[in-house]
Amino acid sequence: MKTLVTLLLLAIIVIACNNNTTNEHPITSNIEQEKLDQLTALYDSLGPVIDEIAFRQKASGEDLKIFDDGIIPWISLENPQSGLAGLIDADKIVLPYSSIRILIDYPLNKPVFFELSSKSEGYSRKELILVISNKYHEIYQTEEKTAAQKTIPLDERKGLVNRNQTDGEYGIWGHDLSDLDLSFVEIHKNAKGVITLTLGIES
């Protein structure tokens, strides 16, 4: 599971490794510290977690051999429609806010917010997974269009089959969209009352 904490830890590890290198360049170190400071400020601005929404689906067929309790604790981001029929409490309103924003930070080097507004009483699990999936599709498509270093096709990858890092608008690294599943969202509320969702992504 990759969350905001994971991203911060990775940044800290990079800085720590550089600080242990005798050939460390001071300008590089300052840039990395500045990036860590920006990330820390960004995540602090979200406010505390006030609730969490889980995405679980009923297992069927061969999946029953893998999940002993009959529950798959995530849903696909690439193709959520394949799991909607079994999504538990799919239509229940679980987010009673008309205006929210969602932070997507994994697997992106450049985190991005997007805003949602609803005229109804809030959002259901089904609505959330579909809108988050659509945004991920948009992000991956934009990355490919804007990257000079394109994604290496799966059948051409050597050794590890992880997706190579690309240099487009979002700087995607490590995973194809087909690798990603949504297991939960955390609801943050800051001092100004802004509601932000962060995502629990399985890969």
The pLDDT tens digits for 34-67 are 778 877 888 899 999 999 999 999 999 999 999 9
- Rounded to whole angstroms, the Cα distance separating 55 from 51 reads 14
The reply to whether 6 and 91 lie within a common domain is no
The reply to whether 40 and 53 lie within a common domain is no
The reply to whether 156 and 87 lie within a common domain is yes
Smallest CA-to-CA distance from 132 within 87, 108, 168, 102 is with 102
List all residues 6 or more positions away from 121 whose beta carbon is below 8 Å from its beta carbon: 93, 96, 98
- Rounded to whole angstroms, the Cα distance separating 55 from 147 reads 32
Given a cut of 50, whether residue 13 has pLDDT beyond it is no
SS3 content of the chain, % helix, strand, coil (to 5): 35, 25, 40
Domain of 102 in residue numbering reads as 49-202
The reply to whether 34 and 61 lie within a common domain is no
The reply to whether 136 and 103 lie within a common domain is yes
When pLDDT is cut at 50, 70 and 90, the band that residue 11 belongs to is very low
- Rounded to whole angstroms, the Cα distance separating 136 from 130 reads 10
The reply to whether 186 and 129 lie within a common domain is yes
Most confident of 26-40, 108-122, 174-188: 174-188
The reply to whether 111 and 170 lie within a common domain is yes
Given a cut of 60, whether residue 106 has pLDDT beyond it is yes
- Rounded to whole angstroms, the Cα distance separating 168 from 181 reads 22
The reply to whether 129 and 197 lie within a common domain is yes
> How many other C-beta atoms lie within 10 A of the C-beta of residue 180?
21
The reply to whether 119 and 177 lie within a common domain is yes
The reply to whether 104 and 76 lie within a common domain is yes
Buried b (16+ CB within 10 A) or exposed e, 133-143: bebbeebbeeb
When divided into structural domains, the chain yields a total of: 2
Q: What is the DSSP string of 130-151?
A: HHHHHHHHHHHHHHHHH-SSPP
The reply to whether 149 and 118 lie within a common domain is yes
What share of the chain in percent tops pLDDT 70? 85
The reply to whether 67 and 95 lie within a common domain is yes
